[in-house]
Amino acid sequence: MNILIADATIVNEGRSFIGAVVIEGDTIRQVTEGQVMQRGDYDLVVNAHDCVVMPGVIDTHVHFREPGLTHKADIASESQAAAMGGVTSFFDMPNTVPQTTSREALEEKWRIASETSHVNHAFFFGATNDNIDLLPQDDPRVPGIKLFMGSSTGNMLVDNAQTLRRLFQTAKLPLMAHCEDTAIINRNMAAAKQRWGDDPDVTHHPEIRSREACLSSTSLAVRLAREYGTRLHVAHLSTADELALFEPATEQRQPRITAEAVLAHLLFTDNDYADKGTWVKCNPSVKTSADRAALRRALSDGRIFTVATDHAPHTLAEKEGGCAKAASGMPMVQFSLVAMLDLVDQGVLTLERMVGLMCHHPSRLFDIHRRGFLRQGQKADITIVRRQPWTLRQSDIVSKCGWSPLLGHTFGWQVVHTFCNGVHIVDNGQFQPLARGEQLLFRMPK
């Protein structure tokens, strides 16, 4: 199928310009700047004169819950939510049931995604204290190793000092680390329960999952990565303190140690617990307005290299309770792009920088094959947005869990079209289940 996206404001590789994109099959055939191309022999022409055209968003941090936790989400439902939000590729985390800590579990996820995912997919392999000899070293289908340096996720907490050091020393693939110091968290929780009872109110969550817990663990990870030259990407920074550990990235230089911010910590502060309660409870915890402001500044100064969602749906019943009982996590994949466009409108960062953080940088960081840019020969993963205010209603939510902490929020932008591998999967805001996504590939020969 030949498709022309005409008269568009194209945002790509640090620039915005008027032009057009031609798709041939699953590939971008041409990106033209300046004069608008006239209609030729095309099967579809999309008039994008009032729209922004950008690469499809690559969300490198989601929990789609399949297998084993499909009562709250599955790959089919959450990949549809992703497509509706302009996300054309996702990286899923290993804390499913069973955990993705063996070759057999990984292959089962690949099988499920090949049959049900509406967008492109990849899966992290999870590290444990016991499986270091099983970690993939050169498989082009695996983006990296997920390391929980602070977690209550069963056997996935790597807390053996010798194993941790060996992992940093021997890992050939990028390590993506969740950094919170479990010993500090456990002490804080014990003190909180002694003071406020067995299930302290959610307003105490940032005191339990504290900034000290984050800084201690992130400092250790960065220190080990520097010692061994490990390729380290620290997930979901939540404090201003941690930012000091990272060197700014530039277009000319990408450090081997980088950081991610997720929507929870860019949008919310501890003041939101009073109104939104456990709907904004996540790990690491949402912290102060000063922390949020520092993270927002770091989007532009190079210390934050990627923006993702940590999309983590739970049922509303699972979100009941306080610090001890309520599940941590929130569904965000459908609304990450429009939420970030709100920050662009507020002057937090430029549109070009946002596209870098959500499209170009994930591709560069994980060396994704033929994704993340609007270039001739790249796969035709393209998102088109229009400035069009709308208010999120419950009926708009595609995720299986059926709720969002952004319910009732009015966004300034709307995703109107999503193309995944050249397939028009979202057409004028309507989902079209026309094709399956593809398995992402990494570190392929140029």
Beta-bridge mates of residue 414: 386
Residue type, 419: F
Q: Among residues 337, 306, 153, which one has the least CA distance to residue 236? A: 306
Torsion angles phi and psi, residue 426, rounded to 5: -125, 120
CA distance 207 to 191: 10
- Which of 310, 342, 367, 396 is catalytic? The answer is 310
CA distance 100 to 187: 29
Cα–Cα distance list, 329 to 41, 134, 230 (Å): 48, 29, 28
CA distance 279 to 319: 7
Q: Is 139 a catalytic residue?
A: no
CA distance 392 to 410: 6
Asked whether 183 and 198 are in contact (CB, 8 A), the reply is no
CA distance 161 to 167: 10
Instruction: Give me the residue label for tokens 């990106």.
Output: 31
Q: Among residues 151, 223, 143, 150, which one has the least CA distance to residue 175? A: 143
Asked whether 383 and 418 are in contact (CB, 8 A), the reply is yes
Asked whether 237 and 259 are in contact (CB, 8 A), the reply is yes
Cα–Cα distance list, 208 to 281, 322, 432 (Å): 12, 12, 44
Residue type, 102: S
CA distance 437 to 115: 9
Residue type, 335: F
Active site residues: 310
